[in-house]
Structure 1
């Protein structure tokens, strides 16, 4: 009887499925353009998104431009920018960036405030660049959060919104709220966001495309150092000016300023005249008048309260000093309102 041999079936030749590449869902940005927004701050925010797509070879970001009415918007230099739509047609998970510029208070309509609060309830990430942060603050979206705004608007913002932890950083990312000071600070903020999402190599490649050699962080401050601003590298002079700038509302006497840097009052006087061609008293007064002008332009504080906040206890003396320096009165300045744009 022939024996039978049992054979096993051949092994399966089916190979495991190849790993599929991860699908990146593009992040969508909606740029809300306020009337007379600053073009450079907006451009510095949107261009990194385009370049990130280019260097990555895929669509990492998409965007749309919106306005309160859906109509074109005039920026601070007079250029008209066409938008895609009004605020009603928004991508569900869009990151909203409010682009401000000149007189953000006037440009922020009740409709915009209501819309921002609605987007916040839906959980959207919301940001402001240049003076766009004012709209977020007015809507109550920055309460008890860290934020920043253009240095020229810092004083007025702090007076209007004392509940906000206002910093002088170039940008701040605090959870679902982001703010930048404007100008090229928008670029620093966007490069940081790109690096956080897609890695430093992508962000660095974008910076290279923009010939931008030093990406600032949220620890960097907006303004140049005092020696760089005044063009003089003298440590004691810089220190005295630093003290002056931090004591605008409660001015310090020349004698006390001199004592702070271990000098006599006469030595301090010579130091200021040699390097700044003015007395310490005059320089201090000019700093306080600059603060007063910013408050007049940016807040609804009464002229008397502006005077007090700038270290002038006498309204008549304040008005006299203001007229001598700016060739107009505080009341006329308040009525005129500046048309100059923060950069």
Structure 2
């Protein structure tokens, strides 16, 4: 087989993704993960991705909003999957069954890429498939997972891609994760085209954090600290001095320092700076305000001082943040074992599998003006 036909044949093989639906999964997270794949196919004018929804026995699965989804197949159907993504939601501790754990472990043994959205991360962790990996999960489940799975490097980032594991928090965060993966597979132009079609004006990256409510982290045990942080958040443009903050809540400056070090593991001034810089990043990415205006709105007396603090904290100057010049590593598509075997053998037994919804969606999209509008990189 010559190099050119082989490359053409590889390019023609779509990546196949199985979405395992857990009881009470969140529908918005599932849609946020699948819709970018559909649009990637439409804009490319061919099937780059195909997907199947799965449940343990093939029975309908109820989402957290009460709607039921009838899956394409049961997990015992031998689908030629490249990736498995677990879709979780409410009560993952109850919805992760032993059969689910066993099946996920079997997928890992077949060298399939594994992922999760919302609280689906719990299932992968319970199966021991995230030990030593960085992982993201919805903030509401974060504390419980840290306690239950100490070997998992949990993070508050919106999503994490660590080797062949891709995990994301809930809501629309799976959309950002999938756009990042699509960009790595097929280039930034395709990912940008998808975000335009979804009127999604800013694709968040792996460095973006979930906004975890401090009340969830501290509980009700530190009312004074919560009050101080609320004051900080309400006074970003004109920061309040630490002495004034201490006076507001009837503690000494030393007590204030101890409160922050004990509960937030940093000084109050450092925490205040973090709040101001995080707000600055939002303004840079989401508004047309000049860098000078952003600096002023976040309590910095000079632009050079703002730029210095910003670079030290985020590792990139405000100007580059505004231009969006942070690099995205482009990783070539890796084929699953089934696809590799197909290329190496002239005769093979095809896997009988249900028809993916991707084919119907692609057929319906042929009449759209955006069909095949993005030229893929070679």
Please, what TM-score do these two structures have when normalized by structure 2?
Answer: 0.57
- Higher Cα Rg, which structure: 1
Asked if the contact 2:224/2:249 (under 8 Å) is kept, the reply is no
Task: List gaps (5 residues or longer) in structure 1.
Answer: 1-16, 230-240, 272-279, 288-343
Identify the match of residue 153 of structure 1 among 110, 119, 141: 141
Partners of 2:208 and 2:91 in 1: CA distance: 26
The two structures, once aligned, show a CA RMSD in angstroms of: 3.2
Asked if the contact 1:30/1:90 (under 8 Å) is kept, the reply is no
Q: Deviations over 1:80-128 (max 9, x none)?
A: 1011111012433421000000111111110000000111011000111
Specify the alignment match of 1:332 in structure 2.
none
SS of the aligned residue for 1:59 comes to: coil
1:182 CA drift (Å): 1.2
Identify the match of residue 267 of structure 1 among 232, 243, 247: 247
Q: List structure 1 runs of 4+ shifted beyond 6 angstroms.
A: 244-250
Whether 1:94 and 2:82 are equivalent positions in the alignment is yes
1:162 CA drift (Å): 1.2
Asked if the contact 1:45/1:187 (under 8 Å) is kept, the reply is yes
Asked if the contact 1:68/1:112 (under 8 Å) is kept, the reply is yes
Partners of 2:140 and 2:29 in 1: CA distance: 15
1:1-343 maps to which residues of 2 (within 5 A)?
22-23=8-9, 24=11, 25-223=13-211, 262-263=242-243, 267-269=247-249
Asked if the contact 1:146/1:172 (under 8 Å) is kept, the reply is yes
Partners of 1:149 and 1:38 in 2: CA distance: 13
Partners of 1:159 and 1:86 in 2: CA distance: 32
Higher relative contact order, structure no. (Cα contacts within 8 Å, ≥ 6 residues apart): 2
Asked if the contact 1:27/1:62 (under 8 Å) is kept, the reply is yes
Partners of 1:252 and 1:211 in 2: CA distance: 40
Please, what TM-score do these two structures have when normalized by structure 1?
Answer: 0.63
Partners of 2:216 and 2:64 in 1: CA distance: 29
1:22 CA drift (Å): 2.5
SS of the aligned residue for 2:36 comes to: helix
Partners of 1:98 and 1:245 in 2: CA distance: 25
Aligned length: 238
Specify the alignment match of 2:325 in structure 1.
none
Specify the alignment match of 1:12 in structure 2.
none
Task: List gaps (5 residues or longer) in structure 2.
Answer: 230-239, 264-378
SS of the aligned residue for 2:8 comes to: coil
Partners of 1:71 and 1:247 in 2: CA distance: 40
